[in-house]
Structure 1
């Protein structure tokens, strides 16, 4: 004999599991100095160990210079104009791609992948990632930060 109640119970458990999984965002959390930012993993093109960069011949707001990654020239930008990485400080470069083919590199002293459970995320929202407040960035906010130089 078929136990329909058991089947209904199992179906409701499966649906609940699916609902729980759809509320997760995979974010990449990164630090620039004391500030913490987060972006959707979809916007992360690549993370690399820091390589030498070529400074711009003239001062451009929030731009440090350019890097060459496998023949592709990518602008190296920074959020904090006054934040300088020390020579001995270990850091990585996170390469972001918000628009197809438009890459930007940022130096970071700590990068981490995080699963974040929430119904939705708003750009500019400060979110709690493992008890650390992080500023959530999207394409529009990124362009606002660098509007003078993009």
Structure 2
């Protein structure tokens, strides 16, 4: 398991700060709520699943649990070219609506605390494909981070399909 840097300092007068796990994909930084992240693991052998959607890389065995793994780049149609050190890639294991899902990301960045007043709504242009998965944009001083809402990232049908990739066999 990868160790994470300590929480950055930040207090919120307007509301509770968000505790986030940050990661990089391409040249952008994204975050999940820390309570939705179960663990972060190094890349592991992934078994392909026949007829899976294009963004599903396959499945892994995580201490006896079968977990579907999604390629974050393909799921969100990120085509920006950038050099990625394969040794930095990790799988972020998340929990959403009674499902466990892993995401392949380019690199882990940090655990951070974002004051509520520093979270802006998603821009109107993000309302297209998967725009509902963007909770907002966090202002972290000299950089912006995209805060994702795992519970809104998948439709019920999509989650059922992912669960089907982990169905146990008799």
- 1:113: Cα distance to partner? 0.3
Q: Distance in 2 between matches of 1:99 and 1:56?
A: 22
Per the alignment, residue 26 of structure 2 pairs with: 33
2:92 match: 94
C-alpha deviation, 1:119, in angstroms: 4.2
8 Å contact from structure 1 (residues 98, 138) kept in 2: no
TM-score by length of 1: 0.69
Distance 1:64 1:124 in 2: 25
| Separation of aligned partners in 1, 2:72 and 2:40 | 17
**119, 126, 132: which one aligns with 2:137:** 126
SS at match of 1:39: strand
Unaligned runs of 5+ in 2: 1-10, 122-133, 163-170
For the pair shown, the structure with the greater C-alpha radius of gyration is 1
Establish whether residue 106 from structure 1 lines up as the match of residue 117 from structure 2. no
More strand by share: 1
Partners of 2:86 and 2:154 in 1: how far apart? 31
Which 5+ residue runs of structure 1 have no aligned equivalent?
1-17
* Aligned pairs, number: 131
- In the superposition, the TM-score normalised over structure 2's length comes to 0.62
Indicate the larger mover: 50-59 or 71-80: 50-59
CA distance in 1, matches of 2:84, 2:113: 31
Deviation for aligned residue 1:126:
1.8
